[in-house]
Each structure stands twice: as C-alpha cells, then as structure tokens.
Amino acid sequence: MLIIRPIRHTDFDALKTIAVESGHGFTSLPVNDQLLANRIARSEASFSKHITHPGDEGYLMVLEDTDSGDVVGTCGVEAAVGQQDAFYHYRLGTEVYYSGQIGVRNEVETLTLCHDYTGSAELCTLFLRQSYRRGLNGRLLSRVRFMLLAQFPERFGETVIAEMRGISDENGSSPFYGWLQEYFLGIEFTEADYLSGVGQKAFMAEMMPRSPVYVCLLPEAAQRVIGEVHHNTRPALSMLQAEGFRWRNYIDIFDAGPTVECSRDDIRSVKESRLYTVNISKALVESEVQYIVANTLLDDFRATLTTLHIDEDSDTVNISPALAKALLLDVGQAMRVLAI
C-alpha cells in the first residue's frame, strides 16, 4: 500500500536520494546534508506546533510503499512565504507610450521585481521517483496537499501559489538567465538557483536590476521562454489548472517559469472533499470508484488512494480493517474523502 505521511528524521537518506534524482531547477531540495536535515526538523516542528495564524511553517510529506518500506516521493506546502526571507518574483506589466504630436502609440511589456506573494501559502517540493510514475500515484501525491488545506485552513495563507519550473536545457542552463548572468549577477544559473534554494538570497537584493526591465530589449531567446514551463512540468501545471489555478503574470526571476495562484477556499479539491464518519467492516460493497482518503489528524496525518462505495445520502462510509489501520482510524472517527 502507498501511504502519505509527514516526513520523519529517519527519512533523511531517502530524502537525499530524491534531492539527487530531482536534478537542476528543484530549488526546494538542494543536495546539502545540513539543509536537508534542517528541512526535516522544520517540518516535524511545524506538524506539532500550535498556531493561531500561518507563519514560517513548512509541511513536508513523503509517499511510502509500506510493502517495501521505501520512500518513493515527496510533496510539501509552505504556510506563508516571505516571513523570514524575501520572496521575489518578476511581475509582467505593460507601459503605454503615446504622442499625439507624431501620432504614435506603443505598448511595451516590462518586468518589475516585487514581493507581491508575501504571506501566500505555496505548494512545493513535488517529486515522484521514476519507477512509481504510473497509474494515479502522481495525482495522489499532488492533490493530497489540498486535503491538508481543507482540514486545517487556519494554518495556511488565503492565497495559494505554485512556482512552475521554467525552460532550461539538460545542463541546467536557462535562456532567460543568460542576460541576467551577463549584465548583473555574473554567476552560473545552477549556482544562483542553489543559493536561492538554501536561503542565501542577499545577492538578489544587491545585484538584481532595481528598475523595470523592458522585455523588448532582452535577447529573443529570453523573451520566448517568459511564462513557459519545462516539459517535465507540464502535467503538474495541467493538474493545477484543473483545480482552478491561473497565471496572473508573475514569473520566476531566474528561469521565467510561471507562478500560478488560486484562492485557498476556491481550490476545487478543497471545496469538493467531504468528511464521513468511519464504520469498519470486512464485508464491503465492491466499487471501482477511486478516492483519496485521509484522517483528520495533523502530526499523525495519513492519506492513501483506495476504492470506496459511498452512499451520498449517508454521512457514514464503510472501510476495511486494513485501511483503518493504515490511516490510524477507528469506528466513529472522521475521514476526509475526495473523488479522484
């Protein structure tokens, strides 16, 4: 059985393997032992922390194959970005130039450095190992985060964002970053990406262009990739779009990938998930309908994918003893259910 649960310190080796496999552009999991250990410790503290409003918490979960004991994927949610470190984006806008004297009107796109998403929750750190990229495993890993948002809305910002990986080649070079490297930063894309991922962002404030950048003055290769996603990221973007996420003209400052957003309470899976009272039974009605199911605990959060027969007129759902054990559920407790 595949079970999603909060990460533990004993998952360090598995998380490091995922960090290595994820490759260039996966800034939330840098290949750095101390930072990975810190990420795990921060998540453990966040899941056990009592809060009244979202702050600098980060919730990291893993997908475990309970048959083998292997951790095969990870996903995370940041409660409210920009609380400790500046959270930068470029905002794509338009300036209008008009002269009645010569009868000319021009609209010019601009990129302006901003912190507009400060305080937003962020979907992050989604990675599924290659051998498990089949069936509905990817959907489970991505959408389970919405179960957490639905159950504990007070722990997350009212706007939820997701940064989509932008265009880069097999060596990790970004066409958009090329002009930035040449005229401003002077370091390789992979190094800048790494420094950002480990939270060493002082160089951004010191070296990034402070004035709006005119898109028409960028190299054509850089212009073409603004708002475009890496081919490996297209399935994730499509899934988020189906949930109601939209691009509002914000891009990553290094690779120009789009950042999409949705109001927390308007996310499709948040709205459509329902709570049912658990009844445990060995005699279950067969069904082919797949659901993501989760308990309503925080530090002992558990979720998985299963088939269920649900009577929409009832507030009770029957589950097997094995499923109840896997989700740490007992008779009469609540279970959150989402049709997949």
Q: Is residue 188 part of a domain?
A: yes
At 189 the pLDDT is 78
Of 207, 238, 269, which residue constitutes the final position of a domain? 269
Handedness of CA 236, 77, 196, 220 (dihedral sign): positive
Q: Is residue 100 part of a domain?
A: no
Is the CB of residue 273 less than 8 Å from the CB of residue 336? Answer: yes
What is the tens place of the pLDDT at every residue in 256-274?
999 999 999 999 999 999 9
**Residues that are catalytic:** 230
**Which residues make beta-bridge pairs with 278?**
317
Of 269, 287, 303, which residue constitutes the final position of a domain? 269
User: Are 190 and 252 found together in one domain?
Assistant: yes
User: Are 174 and 311 found together in one domain?
Assistant: no
Select from 291, 301, 289 the least CA-distant residue to 327. 301
User: Are 140 and 221 found together in one domain?
Assistant: yes
Strands 334-339 and 274-280: antiparallel
What is the tens place of the pLDDT at every residue in 302-331?
999 999 988 778 899 999 999 999 999 999
At 316 the pLDDT is 92
User: Are 175 and 46 found together in one domain?
Assistant: yes
Phi and psi for 300 in degrees, rounded to 5? -110, 30
Write the CB contacts of 134 (distance below 8 Å, at least 6 apart in sequence).
none
What is the tens place of the pLDDT at every residue in 116-132?
999 999 999 999 999 99
